[in-house]
Amino acid sequence: MAASARIESLSRICMFNRTLIELNKIGNPITGDAANDEGQSTKALREGLIAAATMDRMYTASIPWKVLSSKVGVGVLTEGWNLAGVEEDTQEIRTFVVDVFFDSTFVSPPVVQLGLTGFDIDDRDSSRLTLTAENITQSGFQVLVTTWAGTRVYAAEFNWLAIGA
């Protein structure tokens, strides 16, 4: 780890600790909890309760987070894969849809983040590939794997992370 990254990490830890000290002094205006010497606000934050950021302070609310994640790989062996073949001199946009279902449902649609972790793309043309999460519901979402022009995509791998209540 580079020195600048270590300094930034230590700075974030110090800022987090200062926030915890402030929480113990002022209590929690969202839940109405008064300040106390036992550090209940600190304990709640460390137990993973949602932190709501305001202009200059961070307060805890009483809704627990739910976090789900997984890795997905699709490609030419996946039924319906249409990103490997291309007509010459075309600018056509081609999309393959991947349905993702959560192991357990959320109370409301979560926030979903995607991260491309690998791909197999022909080197005859530029590499063009996008991932988009759409149609997010309490039970799942769809990932649109998209390419265009002369790019031939043989496979794509990605991780997803869903955070909600």
Contacts of 100 (CB under 8 A, 6+ apart): 70, 72, 140, 141, 142, 143, 160
Quote the CA–CA distance of 152 and 112 in Å, as a whole number: 27
Contacts of 82 (CB under 8 A, 6+ apart): 94, 96
Backbone angles phi, psi at 30, to 5 degrees: -75, -45
Backbone angles phi, psi at 20, to 5 degrees: -60, -40
Quote the CA–CA distance of 113 and 14 in Å, as a whole number: 27
For tokens 């991932």, what's the residue? 131
Q: Quick count: other Cβ atoms within 10 Å of Cβ 78?
A: 15
Check whether 143 has a pLDDT greater than 90. Answer: yes
Check whether 110 has a pLDDT greater than 90. Answer: yes
Predicted TM-score (pTM) of this structure:
0.61
Q: For the chain, state the CA radius of gyration.
A: 22
Domains of the chain: 3-62 (no CATH), 66-164 (2.60.40.2080)
Check whether 86 has a pLDDT greater than 70. Answer: yes
The 10s digit of each residue's pLDDT in 29-80 is 445 555 554 444 444 444 443 343 333 344 555 668 899 999 999 999 999 9
Q: Which band of pLDDT confidence, cut at 50, 70 and 90, is reported for residue 25?
A: low
pLDDT, position 71: 96
